[in-house]
Structure 1
Amino acid sequence: MGSQVLRLSHPSKTLLGAVPLTGSKSESNRALIIQALSGGNVAVENLSSAADTVTLCRALALSAAPGETSGEAHETVVDIGPAGTAMRFLTAYLAITNGRYFLTGSERMKQRPIGILVDALTTLGADIQYAERVGYPPLVIRGGFEQQRPAVKVQGNVSSQYLSALLLIAAALPKGLELQIDGELTSRPYLTMTLDMLAEAGIEHHWVDDVIVIKPQPTKATTLTVEPDWSAASYWYAMAALAKTADLFLPNLKSNSLQGDAAIANIMTGFGVGTVFESGGVRIRHTASSPTQDSSSLDFRECPDLAQTVIVCAAALGKDLSFTGLHTLRIKETDRIAALQNELGKFGVALEQDGEVYHLRTAGRYQPSRLVIDTYEDHRMAMAFAPLALAFGQVEINDPDVVEKSYPDFWKHLKQQGFVIS
């Protein structure tokens, strides 16, 4: 957009018509790694236009044809900025790719832990060193390691991306991979997505109890078609819940989606939004003026990227709900718990922690004369709070360009749906 502050309002509070969502960032990034390791066997269609995916594309091209150097002989600099998935996936991918790499990112990326994945890869035989702080990027990777062993144990409750990063390279390892998941598994749908997409490319796996085994094997010739992004759809569900009238069609979304964020369809029934899967996509409608919540507690363990959207929507509707499964939010693009607490407090709503449970308290909610939302370099903060323009008349969003990370057309689509943006 170019501006550092965006003012948002919606005079009619009516949403009608189709919203063409970009391809899933999660599916796209997995597809790109599968394609890169396929030896030309795998094509990808409907790739996401998200900045994270564009960044990963660029990084993979750079690693395939090293050019930029950091001063050391033949060391390729790969800077992924704030792209967390790219950091995790590339750490594993570059570890098995011939060459010497300096993998770095934004200042926030240097604060996001990578040690669990690095430990797993070095156990297998990878040569990875920390360039600055132990356990965190940037990394110096000497690629193309000699595999020492097939078996590795990895914590399952920190980030499923560590596990997916290992599974994506498993079939290319000379000894394959025997991945033992240690403890509780968080974000299981993302792991299932990885395995399902590998299966589409002909990579078989066996998952028994806490162990996933992938033997060395080639990919088959195939085309991976990326479904639109259910995470992006979640913001439209929130808008439908807060609108006076909403009848929106989201093309090409599937009922049998690989994406865990498809859970938004079920969650939002309690917020007055109905979902109908039609030929060619999904229709969502505002169905109740006073929606009821089926449950007073929601668990985001398998869909943490929905948490901000749902919590902000609940706050706007005055729903005092409890939430679990938020433990991974502290290590995302920002500390998303702290960011939510700060911004919800600007209109009198509290998000209180009690151990692993968070309680939303809306009794003190009020309509401020001016509501200015900070985004903390986090795309989901901007998009989760934007629907408040339907509840509070006008909202100001600082640093609105952060949406480029996952949904570059977000503000354009809002304009098409009658939002006034200045």
Structure 2
Amino acid sequence: MEISALKLSHPAKSLNGTVRLTGSKSESNRALIIQALGGGKVRIENLSSAADTVTLQQALRAASGQRGDSTQQTVIDVGPAGTAMRFLTAYLAITDGRYLLTGSDRMKQRPIGILVDALTTLGADVRYAETAGYPPLAIQGGFTQQTAHVRVQGHVSSQYLSALLLVASSLPQGLNLQIEGELTSRPYLTMTLNMLAEAGIQHRWEAETISIMPQTASPCQLTIEPDWSAASYWYAMVALANEANLFLPNLKSSSLQGDAAIVEIMTHFGVASSFEDGGLRIQKTTVHSAKKLFDFKECPDLAQTVIVCAAALKRDLSFTGLHTLKIKETDRIAALQNELAKFGVRLVEDGAVYHLHTEGLHSPEQLIIDTYEDHRMAMAFAPLALVFSNMQINEPRVVEKSYPDFWKHLKQQGFVIS
């Protein structure tokens, strides 16, 4: 039976012990594309169990089964999986076969024109099956490369760039990718290039241009680190608990993931981090900072978690680097504004800066949080059960997209969930 809502509370308001996080969705999805193009040479360890990763695995299997068959169209539906949509657009474009790549209603509202334009410049046959600039896409896979040079705007989504770089070494002429304008989410691009390097795929990055020559993968094992995005919710819980001391196994200080920025960010909210043998320990402290402005340009997936945490701590702060949030699983800015308002907090847009106003914060009789088909809304607001005694999260299954064990882990840490 579909669970439409969960009631949450945490009577003890203390956290202690070990939380074993799933593998990183971001690393896992890149690894799957590298493996698919790796000619059987690439093995993966600790693959994420997130729904987005399972979706991408299934899609790659479906494409593999149809490779070279142009007589019939293979329909691949990625549902709400944005990374899968972007990566598969590039992957299917170079893979023999006929494909219709589609997704959920929300996915059909998420732009993909920048990536399609780049692929068609290279010579790919990718067409819009419904609305120009948006999925679904009709893809005739396999193409004669027209050029190795493409220009792509860097400020909209790093996933467009990563999608192209992941397939670059399989192109007959390779790829010279020129990034135009400001680059958003640089750590995700660096992650892509580092993982390609682990598989023996070399690149050159000079000024605004990244070049990858035609080459094949080397035999390797890609070991997926636990998900720092998942860790970020535990940081928020530590910040909001009365006392907390948690151990998160296998997280590394030298992470490929941009969301490891949470370590530094949460020092300003009373959370201390220490890397020990085998993982990371996070503890509540009384040390806060007077920092007033936080920039999420490099780590936009942390924004909801930190903003909600700041609201609960009654910190009037300002935030930048949120421009990509409007084209995510939902319009995350509007969603945040709606849900924060339910306990008297305002998030006010002022050009590229957003200001948090907490003077009206109050404890409602019952706080009911809507999740907007967005996993991060559910997980960013769940820590508030440490602050508000009567709380409900609607459509809790959205967490399966990136962190399927989230509610189970909360129960293990003393949250009462019904």
Instruction: Compute the displacement of 1:350 (Å).
Output: 0.2
- Which aligned pairs between 1:21-420 and structure 2 lie closer than 5 A? 21-66=21-66, 73-288=71-286, 291-420=287-416
TM-score of the pair, normalised by structure 1:
0.98
TM-aligned CA deviation for residue 3 of structure 1 = 1.3
Q: Distance in 2 between matches of 1:129 and 1:213?
A: 26
Q: Deviations over 1:275-328 (max 9, x none)?
A: 00001000000011xx42342000000000000000000000000000000000
Say which SS state the counterpart of residue 40 (structure 2) adopts.
Answer: coil
Residues in 2 aligned to 1:241 and 1:265: alpha-carbon distance in whole angstroms: 12
Amino acid at match of 2:13: K
- State the secondary structure of the residue aligned to 2:100: strand
List structure 1 segments (4+ residues) > 2 angstroms apart after TM superposition: 291-294
Normalised by the size of structure 2, how large is the TM-score? Answer: 0.99
What is the CA-CA distance between 1:394 and the residue it aligns to?
2.5
Q: In the TM superposition, what whole-angstrom CA distance separates every residue of 1:371-394 from its partner, at most 9, and x where no partner exists?
A: 000000000000000000001113
**Displacement, 1:73?**
4.2
Match of 2:15 in 1: 15
The answer to which of 387-396 and 256-265 deviates more is 387-396
Structure 1, gaps ≥5 residues long: none
Which residue identity lines up with residue 49 of structure 2 in the other structure? S
- 2:321 and 2:121 map into 1 onto residues whose CA distance is 29
Q: CA deviation at 1:2?
A: 3.5
Instruction: Report how many residues are paired.
Output: 417
| 2:20 partner amino acid | P
Amino acid of the residue matched to residue 238 of structure 1?
Answer: A
| Distance (Å, rounded) in 2 between the aligned partners of 1:125 and 1:73 | 21
Change (3 A) 1:110 1:199: same
3-state secondary structure, aligned to 2:244: strand
SS at match of 1:272: strand
Aligned-pair identity (%): 72
**TM-aligned CA deviation for residue 420 of structure 1:** 0.2
Structure 1 letter corresponding to 2:63: S
Q: Helix, strand or coil for the counterpart of 2:98?
A: strand
**What is the DSSP-based 3-state SS (H/G/I as helix, E as strand, rest coil) of the residue aligned with 1:100?**
strand
- 1:344-370 deviation per Cα after TM superposition (whole angstroms, max 9, x unaligned): 000000000000000000011111011
* Per-residue Cα deviation, 1:148-195 (whole angstroms, up to 9, x for no partner): 000000000000000000000000000000000000000000000000
Is the contact between residue 365 and residue 390 of structure 2 (CA under 8 Å) also seen in structure 1?
Answer: no
Q: CA deviation at 1:395?
A: 1.3
Q: Deviations over 1:70-112 (max 9, x none)?
A: xx94100000000000000000000000000000000000000
**Equivalent position amino acid for 2:176 in 1:** E
User: Is the Cα–Cα contact under 8 Å of residues 369 and 381 in structure 2 kept in the other structure?
Assistant: yes
Q: Secondary structure at the match of 1:142?
A: strand
User: C-alpha separation between the residues in 1 aligned to 2:276 and 2:391?
Assistant: 33
1:206-237, Cα deviation, whole Å (9 max, x unpaired): 00110000000010000000000000000000
Instruction: Please give the secondary structure, in 1, of the residue aligned with 2:342.
Output: helix
CA distance in 2, matches of 1:395, 1:240: 18
Q: Secondary structure, in 3 states, of the residue corresponding to 2:387?
A: helix
Gapped regions of structure 2 (runs ≥ 5)? none
Question: Which of 394-403 and 334-343 deviates more?
Answer: 394-403
CA distance in structure 2 between the partners assigned to 1:295 and 1:157 by the alignment? 26
